[in-house]
Amino acid sequence: MVIAAVEITLYLPWVHSLKEKRMAVKSILQKTQHHFHISAAEVNYQDVQQSAAIAFAAVTCTVGQADQVLQNIIRYVQEHTQAEITNIDRMIY
């Protein structure tokens, strides 16, 4: 069993309220969860208006498969959001 996790920090310059930010983050999380059938959550900067940290986790059989899943998640987030990705932390256990 291999656990793959990634935390992606986003900058959302167009957001002008926490409500707007929550809607944008929720959309990213739901789209990604639905597409990959993985666990996802906002994990940091909940009270910061234009920043968000979202994390995704999956269980796989091999390290290679875990790496591929993380690459696909990162690419999907890049392609399906207007937010700027400022940091990516990948973890494979």
Structural domain total, the chain: 1
Q: What is the pLDDT of residue 60?
A: 95
pTM for this prediction: 0.93
Which domain, by its residues, includes 85? 2-92
**3-class secondary structure, 3:** strand
- Across the chain, mean pLDDT equals 96
- DSSP single-letter state for residue 82: S
What CATH number did the domain enclosing 15 receive? 3.30.70.1120
Q: What confidence category does residue 17 fall into, taking pLDDT thresholds of 50, 70 and 90?
A: very high
Which pLDDT tens digit goes with each residue over 59-92?
A: 999 999 999 999 999 999 999 999 999 999 999 9
